[in-house]
Copies of this chain bind each other. A is one copy, B any other.
Amino acid sequence: MISLAPGPSALYFTVIDHTRRAFRDGIPSMSHRSKEFEFIFREVDQGLRQLLNIPDDFCIAFTSSATEVWERSIQNLVSETSFHLVNGAFSKRFFEISTQLGRHATCLEAPAGSGFGEVLVPPGQELIGLTQNETSTGVTLPMTLIQSVRKASPESLLVVDAVSSLPYPVFDFSQVDSVFFSVQKGFGMPPGLGVWIFNERCIERASALQTKGKHIGTYHSLPSLASFARKNQTPETPNTLAIYVLGKVIADFLRRGIDTIRRETEYKSTLLYQALDNHPVIRPFVRKPEDRSKTVITVATDGHTSDLITFLSKRGFQAGEGYGSFKSTQVRIANFPAHSKEQYEALADALAEFKK
């Protein structure tokens, strides 16, 4: 059975071997203060910079989840005001966390399944949070939107949730301040590790808040994460095994070539959207082609969700239900590097045969 859930998703095909090797080589018992661990940390750091073209003035650190990054971002970067583009459950959660932490958070909300038209950010926002790929609805935001938000609000820190899209999207890191993801989506790993990429402006903001007497947390504050990352270390005993495997998966991606991965992602998503566009019963939930995510494809099932899931499972595919209130009306299909072209060709064929 191939998992098509949008995360935790199918394992990248090398993950089991890397895990086996990690156990053989004693990685789980390794001290996180050893030179060997620093080497493993550096392998991820350098590999990810190469894979995603991350500039030197960005820092790469580890958290336990992307959920943690939501909280730490607000805690470290916002004293008063944050503004959020909300178009689904996960972008909404980022917004709500700011409110829960007592910040004055506001948002621009788009209907589920849609992107945003013109975005007017109220003046004086310390942070703008946007979800480049909304896992709950399968809507992607175009890079031009990120650029226009940046241009209109250059003083605000722009924090981008790319949890369920990386390594696919090409970010221009001069246009953003922070990007984060978790490894159980596009990197095809077991859950339990978040990756937080942030620039000097973020560190300076956190330090400035601290100087003003704001509490930015302790071991996972941005200055703490950054000062350890500079030594290729982590503040606490981390999920060493996951960091090791991530380094190996990134190396695999680099060998395969990020251009190839991106081209195949586009090929597979085109296949699937064509099958859905031509289907008599089911259709893409996201109407406008330009809003459609290439990595999380949401299917409006016309109420046939459980039939479709059963149908696909008989063909060896385990698709995900819709998220939250869309549980019975949608199916979500992940299109990650772990999913091969051949699997997607078979999946598109299977979908074409689905009738009701």
Q: Is A19 an interface residue (CB 8 A)?
A: yes
Q: Is A100 an interface residue (CB 8 A)?
A: yes
Contact between A237 and B7 (Cβ–Cβ < 8 Å)? Answer: yes
CB closest residue in chain B, given A37: B8
With A28-B190, A71-B219, A100-B218 known, 4 other A-B pairs at CB within 8 A are: A16-B23, A65-B236, A101-B215, A192-B238
Q: Is A46 an interface residue (CB 8 A)?
A: no
Contact between A218 and B8 (Cβ–Cβ < 8 Å)? Answer: no
Contact between B31 and A11 (Cβ–Cβ < 8 Å)? Answer: no
Contact between B182 and A237 (Cβ–Cβ < 8 Å)? Answer: yes
- The number of times this chain is found in the oligomer is 2
Contact between B191 and A192 (Cβ–Cβ < 8 Å)? Answer: no
Contact between A219 and B67 (Cβ–Cβ < 8 Å)? Answer: yes
CA distance A183 to B147 in the complex (A): 44
> Which of the residues B8, B237, B238, B240 comes within 8 Å of A240, measured between beta carbons?
B8
| Interface of chain A residues 213 through 236 with chain B (CB within 8 A) | 213, 215, 217-220, 235-236
CA distance A27 to B15 in the complex (A): 13
| In the complex, chain B residues whose CB is within 8 Å of the CB of A20 | 20
14 contacts between A and B (CB under 8 A): A1-B26, A8-B29, A11-B23, A19-B23, A28-B184, A64-B64, A67-B235, A67-B236, A67-B237, A71-B220, A100-B218, A101-B218, A190-B239, A239-B239
Contact between A8 and B32 (Cβ–Cβ < 8 Å)? Answer: yes
Q: Is A178 an interface residue (CB 8 A)?
A: no
CB closest residue in chain B, given A221: B100
Q: Is A208 an interface residue (CB 8 A)?
A: no
| In the complex, chain B residues whose CB is within 8 Å of the CB of A209 | none
Contact between B101 and A192 (Cβ–Cβ < 8 Å)? Answer: no
| Interface of chain A residues 1 through 50 with chain B (CB within 8 A) | 1, 3, 5, 7-11, 15-16, 19-20, 23, 26-32
CB closest residue in chain B, given A22: B190
